[in-house]
Amino acid sequence: MSLSFSKETVRQSSDAKTQAYFSSFPVNSTLETAEQIRRFELLRLAFFVLKLRKLEQRTLIAQVEPNSQDTDLQFRCNLLRHVIFQQVLTLIRLDAREQAMQIIDTCNKS
């Protein structure tokens, strides 16, 4: 009996941890609060900034080794710069300007 009791206790403990972890996520896959929206938009910004950094590194390599991909990489970098600008405008509307600037600064330094 003690073995089944301990298995049940472990299962309940695991279920409680899972519920605590998922409680910060929306139940129906929609962002419901301003804080959830703000965090999601900050995450998107970080993704775009890191993607831009990766593409800029590729363009530096492409300049050393002439290639036809150079114009394509520059085009993609320009698109990402525009997306980042729009993302910052969105975050300013969500009162997250400082956080947005910190993300951009941190991603550019690393």
- Whether residue 19 lies inside any domain: the answer is no
Q: Determine, yes or no, domain membership for 56.
A: yes
Number of domains into which the chain is organized? 1
Q: What is the pTM of this model?
A: 0.69
Q: 83 lies in which domain range?
A: 33-109
DSSP notation for 23-73: TTS-TTSS--SHHHHHHHHHHHHHHHHHHHHHHHHHHHHHHHS--THHHHH
DSSP state of 1: -
Q: What is the mean pLDDT of residues 27-51?
A: 90
pLDDT of 19 reads 58
The amino acid present at 106, given as its one-letter code, is T
What are the residues whose beta carbons fall under 8 Å from the beta carbon of 55, sequence distance 6 or more?
Answer: 73, 76, 77, 80
Summarize the confidence of residues 80-97 as an average pLDDT: 96
* Banded pLDDT at 68 (limits 50, 70, 90): low
Residue 14 banded pLDDT, cuts 50, 70, 90: low
Query: What pLDDT shows up at residue 38?
Result: 94
Q: What is the pLDDT of residue 42?
A: 95
